[in-house]
Amino acid sequence: MDWFNRSYSCGSGGSEGSGSIGAVGIPGILYYDANSIMNARFSTSATGEFSYYDKVALDYLYESLKPGIRFIL
């Protein structure tokens, strides 16, 4: 979830830059979610469980592949 700026989870780094390839934002999710297991690095408080916004992203991605599959109940 920190695809656009690694400094959020890594403490350093910066913008991944702009271009025509790479990550694409998903409607309905935050630009950064400290609780996401999809960050480049876990925080020390991470539980290893999908965050709410991880589930929103998974629902968005998998609904088109497998209608009826839901991660958020």
> Per residue in 44-63, pLDDT tens?
777 888 889 888 888 888 87
Reported as a pLDDT band with limits 50, 70 and 90, residue 6 is low
Separation CA 7–CA 71 (nearest Å): 28
Domain boundaries, the chain: 1-73
Model pTM above 0.85: no
CA angle 10, 25, 1 (to 5 degrees): 25
Separation CA 59–CA 41 (nearest Å): 22
pLDDT at 10: 62
Separation CA 10–CA 18 (nearest Å): 19
Residue 2 has pLDDT above 60, yes or no: no
pLDDT digits (tens, 9 = 90+) for 12-30: 655 555 666 666 778 888 7
